[in-house]
Amino acid sequence: MTHFPVTDSTLSARHLAIFMQDKYGFNDRVTCKIFRTGINHTYMVVNNEIKYVLRIYCINWRSKLEISEEIRLLNLLKDNQISVSYPIPDKNENYIQTLEAPEGTRYAVLFSFAEGRKIRNLTHKTCFSIGMLMARMHKVTINQKIERINYDINTLTEVPYANATSLFSESMEEMQFLKKSCTHLKTLFSEVQGNMRNGIVHLDLWYDNMNIVDDSSITLFDFDFCGNGWLMLDKTYFIMQLFNTEPDRGLYKTKLQSFMNGYQSITPIPDEEKRLLPIAGIAIWIFYLGVQSSRFDNWSNIFLSENYLKHYVGIIKNWMNFYDIEINKGGPIK
């Protein structure tokens, strides 16, 4: 019987457990359970009461080189005592596993488990601690590069907008707003690129990608979007998510200040970065709309629609209204 071709599959957790015994020398009581499907597939692995996280990269999402560079970054951070979930080598000191799935070759990496839990409603003290941890990470990654995406105004806005046009008509009011935003952002950032701190960034740091034991014990994970770019992008992304999860704008302001204070207790933030933080948020929102659009077939189709786009652009406009941004104007975050 000839099997019909597939574009995406979910690998058997039971058979992955057997695979882990062979590759990592785990005992026959090892357990593997699927935790989440999405951009990648995540499994929880337990052997001798030690927890691990197995990531199965979706096909044609990250190349083997890109994954190797992610691993290199994580080992660099770990060696510099930055609290991250780090890759675990197999019996032969290999970090990347190759799996022949029905749709083609997929890669897998085993990571250490980040102790603690995800906390959506962050305290002021936790925001301060996150700021400190991010700043310590940036002191390691500043002026460093990896062979992955360069986050610039083209990859943050123009390419994502083009991806979105495959799903949404450019005649929509929301798409016209995004196109105008791309044009203004390109003009603005072309004038300041030489004045910004650059390095390796995470670009997905929010409460869902960090586990917390207490207010100051935090472990970062999921570096799948790591790349090269302005260091302010990590601060902006965290601040955007704080804006989304803290509806009380008074509390948002004080938690934001705690985060900024924590960051600046480790390293200063140039005034130009402070000025551009809110404006960079628009670029990041456009970028992630592009990710959602490019992954419609095997991830975002359960939510990505015209109504979602209207809601999404509404969030961007709320952010702009809060910071009194007219695309080419933005106040600093002190």
Q: What is the pLDDT of residue 274?
A: 93
Helix, strand and coil percent figures for the chain, each rounded to 5: 45, 20, 35
Residue 45, token pair as written in the block: 């692995």
SS3 5: coil
In Å, what is the CA distance from 255 to each residue of 163, 238, 263? 34, 11, 12
Residue pair 38/52 in contact (Cβ under 8 Å)? The answer is no
Q: What is the pLDDT of residue 18?
A: 98
Q: What is the pLDDT of residue 334?
A: 40
In Å, what is the CA distance from 110 to each residue of 40, 56, 186? 13, 9, 39
Residue 2, token pair as written in the block: 């000839």
Residue pair 111/67 in contact (Cβ under 8 Å)? The answer is no
Residue 278, token pair as written in the block: 């809110």
Alpha helix locations (H) across the chain? 13-24, 64-79, 124-141, 153, 159-164, 173-190, 232-245, 249-264, 271-294, 306-322
- Would you give per-residue pLDDT tens digits along the chain (334 residues)? 688 999 999 999 999 999 999 999 999 999 999 999 999 999 999 999 999 999 999 999 999 999 999 999 999 999 999 999 999 999 999 999 999 999 999 999 999 999 999 999 999 999 999 999 999 999 999 999 999 999 999 999 999 999 999 999 999 999 999 999 999 999 888 877 667 899 999 999 999 999 999 877 999 999 999 999 999 999 999 999 999 999 999 999 999 999 999 999 999 999 989 999 999 999 999 999 999 999 999 999 999 999 999 999 999 999 999 999 987 554 455 4
Neighbours of 44 (CB within 10 A): 16
Neighbour-count burial for 232-265, b at 16+ CB within 10 Å, e otherwise: bbbbbbbbbbbbeebeeeeebeebbbbbbebbee
Q: What is the pLDDT of residue 195?
A: 72
Q: Report all structural domains of the chain as residue ranges with CATH numbers, in order of start.
A: 13-112 (3.30.200.20), 124-322 (3.90.1200.10)
